[in-house]
Structure 1
Amino acid sequence: MAARRPITDDDRRRVAELHAQGLSRNAIAKEIKRSQATVSKLAAELGLSFRRERTAEATRAKVLDAKARRAALALDLLGDAERLRRQLWEPCTLVKIGGKDNVATEHPLPRPLFDDQLRIVQATGLAVERHARLVELDADTGHDNARSLLGALLGGLQAKHGTDPE
């Protein structure tokens, strides 16, 4: 078993400093290369706490950031689908390489070959499906509001009638 490093005044100072910056216990532990238990011990010694409210607030912010990123990605996917769809009927150039000298020859076409059109349609469909999935993922279904309303109603009824749900 490796010998434990003694806790130093520098460790205490860094914990206080990083805590003041709003870092979590885990982030501080990683930063100062100490265990989470050591950071908790130092924080308690310094009269610092890692309140759950701050963690919950940070989590809500990350959830909102992720939702915004998914919305931007969904728009990009829809744009990709539109660009792919337009290629179905656009003129294109078929390039063939062959002969003993591997010479490239170009053949203008009024639209892509059938196999290429099929792949374009498949890619377009995939982009549209992914767009729809991202939009559905972040859709406000109203379930949270209904749950909150029912919880408030139940709490009011219990308060009025003096009943306890347990």
Structure 2
Amino acid sequence: MARPITDKDRAAVKRLHAKGTSRNDIARAIKRSPSTVSKIAGAFDPPLTFDRAPQVEAATVARKADLAARRAEMAERLHDTAERELGKMQAKTLYWEWGGKDHTYAQKLADEPIPADRRAIMSIVATALDRSLKLVPPKDDAGAESRSVIGDLIAGLAADYTARHGGPPPEPEEPEAADDDAP
């Protein structure tokens, strides 16, 4: 048989709710189930609610901002890696080998990496930049937006001309070339 709800339970729920304690924390504090706490809270006039939507929304916004900052930081680190690796393309490179029947060590300092190593470096650079741009895509080109506005304006003017004159605007005439042989 369920334990009856007491005035002590009601007072504790009201007091803890006023402090902003969550339903589950109240249930733990008074050693009752969360559904019993909800039942007690609903019996008050007006009913006590445990609506935490504003706090959850604020926490979600903060979490998204934190993740965006972490993505931006990681994208920056990937760009740094790409730049560092790209610098190796023209750097002097030490090539070495160990072997032969006498187990000898030989090395050679090359002015720049061999083509196979350059290809590997380019792969690293491309991968780092690709991942960086996926983490934080670049903002749209403001010039493209203004060109789009100008294009829309020209199209609107052409449509207005067509509506007023019954046809498209005439093509501009090419200026005549100056005659260089004229006196």
TM-score relative to the length of structure 2: 0.50
Distance 1:103 1:48 in 2: 81
One-letter amino acid of the structure 2 residue matched with residue 107 of structure 1? K
Tell me the SS of whatever aligns to 2:90.
Answer: coil
Deviation (angstroms), 1:114: 0.9
Distance 1:100 1:82 in 2: 41
Point out where structure 1 has 5 or more consecutive residues left out of the alignment: 1-11, 33-37, 141-166
Aligned CA distance change for structure 1 residues 131 and 43 (closer, same or farther; 3 Å): farther
1:97 equivalent in structure 2:
98
In the alignment, does 2:69 pair up with 1:75? no
Distance 1:21 1:96 in 2: 69
2:35 equivalent in structure 1:
41
Deviation (angstroms), 1:103: 3.8
Point out where structure 2 has 5 or more consecutive residues left out of the alignment: 1-11, 42-47, 141-183
Distance 1:100 1:128 in 2: 44
In the alignment, does 2:133 pair up with 1:132? yes
Greater RCO (CA < 8 Å, at least 6 residues apart): 1
Aligned CA distance change for structure 1 residues 89 and 67 (closer, same or farther; 3 Å): same
Aligned CA distance change for structure 1 residues 96 and 20 (closer, same or farther; 3 Å): farther
Count of paired positions: 114
One-letter amino acid of the structure 1 residue matched with residue 68 of structure 2? K
> What is the root-mean-square deviation in Å for CA atoms of aligned residues?
3.5
Question: Based on CA coordinates, which of the two structures has the bigger radius of gyration?
Answer: 2
TM-score relative to the length of structure 1: 0.55
